[in-house]
Amino acid sequence: MREGPRSGCPINAAVEALGDRWSLIVLRDIVFGGRRHFRELLANSEEGIASNILSSRLKALVAGGLLTQEDAGRGHRATYSLTEAGIDTVPVMAVLGSWGLRHRETTPELRVRAQLMEDGGPALWADLMDELREIHLGVPRPHPERERASDRLREAYERAVAAEAAAAVH
């Protein structure tokens, strides 16, 4: 590990914490995939993350204060939780997703979530962050009457997958 940041620039500070080809992908799977355990993160990885890379990135994210790890004791699976700093990467992922939508070839079922995040804008991001605070930090959602952001994202994703499957049959 480095002793300190390379400079006092906030962009540099964020890039040092997040600017790795895998760290944000691991966070994405925790935020949008609801995965909390090593095996889930490994087995369901869309990008086929390697076991040793996942292990090192989880350690780095814990060391960097973006995740906490609760050890359930011998023989039990450790659970990873987002910290406030980890939850606050939601806008970063939203704008990264928007950039990817506009400037890279992507697949329809994986586009839909980024598109919904872009269309929903900061209001949807805030709802998702409130929901993550409830799940990961135990802070009740301030607007429990609203449909969960994660449900809206999952429904949109499932519709897109179903549409893809229907299109593949024809």
Q: Are 117 and 55 in contact (CB under 8 A)?
A: no
Site membership for a copy of itself, residue 51 (CB under 8 A)? no
Angle between helices 23-31 and 10-18 (to 10 degrees): 80
Question: Which residues on adjacent β-strands are paired with residue 79?
Answer: 70
Judged by CB under 8 A, does residue 150 bind a copy of itself?
Answer: no
Residue 83 to residue 52: CA distance in whole angstroms: 23
Nearer to a copy of itself, 104 or 170 (CB): 104
Residue 126 interacting with a copy of itself (CB under 8 A):
no
* Range in contact with a copy of itself (rule: CB under 8 A) among 73-81, 108-116, 134-142, 153-161: 108-116
110, 126, 135, 161: which one binds a copy of itself (CB under 8 A) = 110
Cα distance between the two ends of the chain: 53
Site residues for a copy of itself, 8-37, by CB under 8 A, read 8-21, 23-25, 28
Does 46 participate in binding a copy of itself (rule CB under 8 A)? yes
Q: 30-57: buried (b, 16+ CB within 10 Å) or exposed (e) per residue?
A: bbbeebbebebbbeebeeebeeebbeeb
From candidates 56, 79, 106, 150, binder to a copy of itself by CB under 8 A: 106
Shortest Å, Cβ 86 to a copy of itself: 9
> Which one of residues 95, 139, 162, 163 is an interface residue with a copy of itself (CB under 8 A)?
95
Within the chain, strands assigned E span 67-70, 79-82
Say whether residue 69 binds a copy of itself (CB under 8 A).
no
Smallest distance from the beta carbon of 99 to a copy of itself, in angstroms? 5
> What one-letter code names the amino acid at 55?
S
Q: Can you spell out the DSSP letters for 58-83?
A: HHHHHHTTSEEEE---TTS--EEEE-
Chain residues that interact with a copy of itself, rule: CB under 8 A: 5-21, 23-25, 28, 46-48, 65, 84-85, 88-89, 91-107, 109-111, 114
